[in-house]
Chain A
Amino acid sequence: MELYKFLPQTNCKKCGKTCMAFALELLQGKVKISDCTPLIEETKYKEKYEALKELLGSEEGIEKELHIDIDEDLCDGCGICVTCCPVNARYCPPTLSGKAPDVPHDKHQLFEVKDGKCVLLNLEHCRRLEADGRERECHVCEIYCPREAIKILYI
């Protein structure tokens, strides 16, 4: 978590959470930099504040939404994302042995391969939105896709 480095890291809880949780929500666009009052008020954090503003760019404060983008041209339907996504692994037993999940799909299932290409079925149950703690930082689909067809974005 790069953003964490630029927070006071005191866990003062003035924002209602820990610095780590704050950093995560900052990444997801759920909170604004200014919600961390010590960062703005205390001059010793001025450098960090400036760096953070720089890092997040001009969109500071605008609500950002999670997107998982699949590049159809790159995808060859290998199904690795279907198998490796931990949510699929939990709710679609066939994926444990690398098999295609059942159709109609479980409501939690995130990816499926249809007509030779990967399709994103839903986002609601993605760990980045539903899980707690470190699991919220999940990005296995993005790192494991051998074609680099998957991008996790906040827009």
Chain B
Amino acid sequence: MERIPCTGCSLLCDDVLIGTDGIFIDKIYGACLKGKERFDQLAAKNRLTSPMIRKNGKLENVSWDVALERIKQILTDSSKPLLYGFSTSSCEAQLKGITLARKISGFIDSNSIICQGKALNVAKETGMTLTTLTEIINKTDLIILWGSNAAESIPRLLNKILFSRGKFRMTGREIKTIIIIDPVKTASFGVMQIRDVALHIEHGKDLELIRVLKEECCKEGNFPEKEVAGIDKEEFKRLLLNLVGAENGVIFVGQGILRTQSDDNVIRELLELVQIINARQEKGRMSLALLGGHYNMVGFEQVALSITGKNHSLQFSDNKLIETKDTIITKIEKDDFDSSIIVGTDPISHFPFSLSKNMASKPIICIDNRKSATSDIADVILPSAITGIECDGLAYRFDHVPIQLKKVLNPPSGVSTDEEILNQIIQKLDVS
């Protein structure tokens, strides 16, 4: 039995116990169903185990050398390559990805841009009060899920933060209040008790709610006369009293807020609201936590930030980082690329049709451990090891805490880690 961090989602639970027979993992204790599925990926039917290239329209198994040769050809012919994905790779591999992007004058972006990346941009200007999981467990008495269905995206989160009995919260669930703000009734509502507050906000009215809260927070004992953003005035009052009355509150910002809004105002004003609350706070504080999906999305931001000063959407040219307002989305929209390297993700099925159509019309180099819509139309496929099981490395938890991943099994023969693969591409490009 061995304790290893689970790479099923951005909670990176480090208390999972596994037993192996040397080839497979045969016992898993503590991981949720989503985590188990991640471990099951080891022996999945759709596992990629050999390099492939497209010949006469069909994918064929080839040797690493042949595949790398083809990649070299594609990249030499390409002047505007895109690199995308990286949020299910270790930080070491992400670093190699950025090195490769610099070398080939490419544009590199991670999945964070369609998730929490935007929030961090705003935070650069306004600052952001963050917190860590340990602090939440030990001190929090108010938990707000805003546009986040944590029960499904991060199955064990509510267990750890709401039901745990932390040092200063020994009575556990009884002393904690949860407020869920969501237009739809998600699975997360299942944890609510009488004292908790369920707020069915009208779709897209988050900004309106935040603005009224900002105003009302500063006044004493005055409450709006009518409903706000579809929320009944009594419910609104409970929300407000909880917000200003909590000792240590945390607002979990989910996909509902991070993804849908086209402008940054929602997140900006939310950060301002937290500042207003904290300015009045005497005992504790209110903080924010951004809930991304993939386990090392934060890692890419950390790596990119530490070596370039920008946390995503990096455009290189002549070995230098150049200013750009582009993101992976605008690049594809404008058709401003001529090949793409996709690492550990499946944009062809996740992106809207108009984008995936553009992407499919250019050569695609796919590095992944399993078949996907992207690998199905790729020109070259390189099979990768499953990070966190077949290869070690560093990853950052949702709260920006680094967690060391472990290697417990060898990858199948003929399969390499993301880091090695990217390194081999870099080396291949070096030989003339």
Binding site for B on A (CB under 8 A): 75-80, 82-84, 89, 94-103, 112-117, 143-148
**Contact B33–A103 (Cβ < 8 Å):** no
Binding site for A on B (CB under 8 A): 1, 13, 15-17, 27-37, 137, 151, 155-156, 158-161, 163-166, 172-173, 187-188, 190-191, 193
Residue A113 contacts which of B32, B137, B193 (CB distance < 8 angstroms)? B32
B172 partner residues in chain A, CB cutoff 8 A: 83-84, 89
**A-chain residues with CB within 8 Å of residue B30 when the two chains form the complex:** 79, 99-101, 113
23 contacts between A and B (CB under 8 A): A76-B32, A76-B33, A77-B155, A77-B156, A79-B30, A79-B156, A80-B163, A89-B165, A89-B172, A96-B166, A98-B161, A100-B29, A103-B1, A114-B27, A115-B27, A116-B32, A116-B33, A116-B35, A116-B37, A144-B173, A145-B190, A146-B188, A147-B187
Given contacts A80-B159, A84-B173, A98-B137, whether A146 and B190 have CB atoms under 8 Å apart is: yes
Known A-B contacts A103-B17, A146-B151; A96 and B165 likewise in contact (beta carbons under 8 Å): yes
How long is the Cα–Cα vector from A125 to B59 in the complex, in angstroms?
A: 58
Q: Are A78 and B137 closer than 8 Å at their CB atoms? A: no
Known contacts A78-B156, A78-B158, A99-B15; can you find 16 more A-B pairs with CB under 8 A?
Answer: A77-B32, A77-B33, A78-B151, A79-B30, A80-B159, A84-B172, A94-B15, A100-B30, A102-B17, A103-B17, A115-B27, A116-B33, A144-B191, A145-B190, A146-B151, A146-B191
Report chain B residues within 8 Å CB of A79.
Answer: 30, 32, 156, 159
| Top 7 A-B residue pairs of the complex, sorted by shortest distance between their CB atoms | A100-B30, A146-B190, A116-B36, A98-B160, A98-B164, A116-B33, A77-B32
Partner of B155, one of A78, A82, A102: A78
How far apart sit A115 and B33, CA to CA, in the bound complex (Å)?
A: 7
Contact check, B28 vs A97: say whether CB atoms are below 8 A apart.
Answer: no
Instruction: Decide if B159 touches A98 in the complex (CB within 8 Å).
Output: yes
Q: Which of A95, A115, A143 contacts B28 (CB 8 A)?
A: A115
Most buried by B among A76, A78, A100, A115: A78
Q: Are A97 and B191 in contact (CB under 8 A)?
A: no
> With A116-B33, A144-B163 in contact, do A98 and B28 touch (Cβ < 8 Å)?
no
State whether A97 and B159 are in contact (beta carbons under 8 Å apart), knowing that A78-B32, A116-B35 are contacts in the complex: no
Cα A57 to Cα B427 with chains together (Å): 79
Nearest A residue to B187 via CB reads A146
Residue of B whose beta carbon sits closest to that of A113: B30
Q: How far is the CB of A71 from chain B (nearest CB, A)?
A: 13
Contact yes or no, B156 A98, CB < 8 A: yes
Q: Which one of A75, A76, A82 has the greatest number of beta carbons of chain B within 10 Å?
A: A76
- Residue of A82, A97, A100 touching B16 (CB-CB under 8 A): A100
Give the residues in chain B near A99, CB-CB below 8 Å. Answer: 15, 30, 160
Separation of A99 and B187 alpha carbons in the complex (Å)? 22
CB distance from A102 to the nearest CB of B (A): 8
User: CA separation between A135 and B291, bound complex, in Å?
Assistant: 37
Chain A residue with minimal CB distance to B188? A146
Cα distance, A95 to B160, chains bound together (Å): 9
Once the chains bind, are B163 and A84 in contact (CB under 8 Å)?
A: yes
Output the least CB separation between B286 and chain A (Å). Answer: 22
For residue A147, which residues in chain B have a CB less than 8 angstroms away from its CB? 187, 190
CA of A76 to CA of B156, assembled, Å = 9
Contacts of B164 in A (CB 8 A): 83, 95-98
Q: CB-nearest residue of chain B relative to A96?
A: B165
Residue of A nearest to B173 (CB): A84
A114–B28 CB distance below 8 A: yes
Min C-beta distance of B164 to chain A, whole Å: 4
